[in-house]
């Protein structure tokens, strides 16, 4: 059984023929892999940079991959039948005792009890087939199969937007027509995370700016134009202009320097909220007393955003179906490259580095 295997924390990746059967939880549903998405986390593991990555207990290797679309081959669970398209949930808690784990929300685990497929202590889904637990499978509508692999990264952002709106329930944040149409947001970063959360905020009515340090690539220009998102080049037009405009919501997806966060805080309007999604890779943040005074005076908030759960996968699939209908160019632009799993050279290339203009690369298995 073919699998893409890593040995964290050591760098490297290999295609291996596994003799061992992969089984998660009850293992009552046999899933054959159709496609995997690749993201920055996979590449950090391949390069040996993700220090939290570890194999399941008792061995030194781990099947990579947390973004997957599969097809049910066999099932003893009545909710799934052969031929169903399914997507596995990546963060799970099999033995978690904290209340959040017990109610199916290990994204809020308080005791570090969870595992993450292809990342922390649990095999991922870059493998020909595996036996899975119906609790952690979501059915995928067949008419969005071509872009469905986006639902895993999108699920994290569905949860992020839900969390932002939940924090903002501390006040009346909707407009005088009951929508979010009067709210202005800006998303820093135009990777797949930045693009997806921008689309999501547009979908629920926000005015959306998306910011990067360069002009938009062709794919980004097409997406932002169709969805009515304003692209902002802050190396050209500066951060000060954004501070004087003011934003109700700022989202950082860059994973760039921590110092950018200081600028983002200064862009917040009264009651505005800053959501942090990208992990800064360097730098430090120093806030002057007067910036902190203004933050308090304006009742601002900062919230950390991570990991969607099963309800968010379901919302993500519904939004992908919606976008396919209202924004066909957007839907057609999300997958920027498809790689055949049997093409070793190309496979190693995409597992090792991001390419220019990439939104989502997927590996095709059949
Ligand atoms: Zn827990």
Q: What does the alpha-carbon distance between residue 57 and residue 176 come to, in Å, rounded to a whole number?
A: 55
Dihedral (Cα; 303, 305, 308, 311), 10-degree rounding: 20
Determine the distance separating the centroid of ligand 1 and the alpha carbon of 273, expressed in angstroms.
27
Determine the distance separating the centroid of ligand 1 and the alpha carbon of 309, expressed in angstroms.
14
Provide the token pair at 7. Answer: 């040995």
Model pLDDT for residues 52-74, shown as the tens digit of each residue:
999 999 999 999 999 999 999 99
Determine the distance separating the centroid of ligand 1 and the alpha carbon of 115, expressed in angstroms.
10
Determine the distance separating the centroid of ligand 1 and the alpha carbon of 108, expressed in angstroms.
7
Determine the distance separating the centroid of ligand 1 and the alpha carbon of 307, expressed in angstroms.
14
Determine the distance separating the centroid of ligand 1 and the alpha carbon of 102, expressed in angstroms.
7
Determine the distance separating the centroid of ligand 1 and the alpha carbon of 121, expressed in angstroms.
15
Determine the distance separating the centroid of ligand 1 and the alpha carbon of 114, expressed in angstroms.
6
Residue 137 φ then ψ, to 5° = -120, 140
Determine the distance separating the centroid of ligand 1 and the alpha carbon of 23, expressed in angstroms.
22
Q: What does the alpha-carbon distance between residue 87 and residue 70 come to, in Å, rounded to a whole number?
A: 6
Determine the distance separating the centroid of ligand 1 and the alpha carbon of 292, expressed in angstroms.
33
SS3 for the chain is CEEEEECCCCCCCEEEECCCCCECCCCCEEEEEEEEEECHHHHHHHCCCCCCCECCCCCCCEECCCEEEEEEEEECCCCCCCCCEEEECCEECCCCCCHHHHCCCHHHCCCCCCEEECCEEECCCCECEEEECHHHEEECCHHHCCCHHHHHHHHHHHHHHHHHHHHHHHCCCCCCCCCCCCCEEEEECCCHHHHHHHHHHHHCCCEEEEEECCCCCHHHHHHHHHHCCEEEEHHHHCCHHHHHHCEEEEEECCCCECHHHHHHHCCEEEEEEEEECCCCCECCCCCCHHHHHHHHHCCCEEEECCCCCHHHHHHHHHHHHHHHHHCHHHHHHCEEEEEECCCHHHHHHHHHCCCCCCCEEEEECC
Determine the distance separating the centroid of ligand 1 and the alpha carbon of 132, expressed in angstroms.
21
pLDDT for 225:
98
pLDDT for 338:
97
pLDDT for 27:
97
pLDDT for 356:
87
Determine the distance separating the centroid of ligand 1 and the alpha carbon of 93, expressed in angstroms.
7
Determine the distance separating the centroid of ligand 1 and the alpha carbon of 276, expressed in angstroms.
22
* DSSP β-ladder status, 360-364 and 29-38: antiparallel
pLDDT for 149:
97
CB 222 within 8 A of CB 244: no
pLDDT for 226:
98
Determine the distance separating the centroid of ligand 1 and the alpha carbon of 95, expressed in angstroms.
8
pLDDT for 281:
83
- pTM recorded for the entire structure: 0.96
pLDDT for 74:
98
Question: Of the CATH numbers 3.40.50.720, 3.20.80.10, 2.40.50.200, 1.20.1290.10, which one belongs to the domain with range 155-304?
Answer: 3.40.50.720
Within the chain, which residues score under 50 in pLDDT? none
Determine the distance separating the centroid of ligand 1 and the alpha carbon of 100, expressed in angstroms.
6
pLDDT for 366:
80
Domain boundaries 2-147+335-364, corresponding CATH code: 3.90.180.10
What are the residue boundaries of the structural domains of the chain, listed by start? 2-147+335-364, 155-304
Peptide bond into 9 cis (omega under 30): yes
Determine the distance separating the centroid of ligand 1 and the alpha carbon of 256, expressed in angstroms.
30
């Amino acid at each position: 059984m073919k699998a893409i295997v890593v040995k964290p924390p050591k760098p490297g990746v290999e295609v291996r023929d596994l003799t061992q059967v992969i089984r998660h939880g009850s293992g009552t549903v046999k899933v054959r892999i159709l496609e995997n998405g690749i993201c920055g986390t996979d590449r950090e593991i391949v390069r040996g940079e993700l220090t939290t990555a570890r194999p399941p207990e008792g061995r030194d290797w781990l099947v990579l991959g947390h973004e997957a679309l599969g097809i049910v081959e066999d099932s003893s669970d009545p909710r799934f039948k052969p031929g169903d398209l399914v997507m596995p949930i990546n963060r799970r808690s099999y033995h978690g005792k904290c209340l959040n784990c017990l109610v199916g929300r290990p994204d809020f685990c308080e005791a570090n009890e969870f595992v993450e497929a292809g990342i922390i202590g649990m095999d991922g889904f870059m493998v020909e087939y595996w036996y899975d637990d119906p609790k952690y499978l979501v059915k995928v509508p067949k008419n969005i199969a071509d872009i469905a692999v986006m639902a895993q990264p999108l699920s994290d952002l569905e949860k992020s937007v839900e969390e932002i709106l939940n924090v903002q329930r501390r006040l009346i944040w909707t407009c005088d027509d009951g929508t979010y149409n009067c709210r202005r947001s800006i998303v820093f970063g135009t990777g797949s995370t930045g693009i997806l959360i921008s689309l999501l905020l547009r979908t629920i009515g926000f005015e959306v700016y998306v910011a990067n340090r360069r002009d938009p690539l062709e794919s980004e220009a097409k997406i932002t134009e169709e969805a009515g998102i304003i692209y902002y080049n802050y190396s050209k037009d500066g951060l000060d202009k954004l501070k004087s405009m003011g934003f109700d919501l700022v989202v950082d997806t860059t994973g760039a320097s921590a110092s950018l966060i200081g600028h983002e805080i200064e862009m917040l309007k009264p009651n505005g909220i800053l959501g942090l999604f990208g992990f800064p890779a360097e730098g430090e943040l120093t806030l002057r007393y007067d910036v902190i005074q203004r933050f308090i005076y304006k009742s601002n908030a900062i919230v950390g955003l991570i990991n969607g759960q099963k309800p968010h996968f379901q919302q993500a699939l519904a939004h992908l179906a919606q976008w396919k209908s209202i924004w066909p160019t957007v839907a057609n632009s999300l997958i920027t490259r498809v790689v055949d799993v049997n093409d070793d050279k190309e496979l190693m290339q995409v597992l090792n580095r991001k390419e220019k203009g990439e939104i989502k690369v997927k590996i095709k298995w059949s």
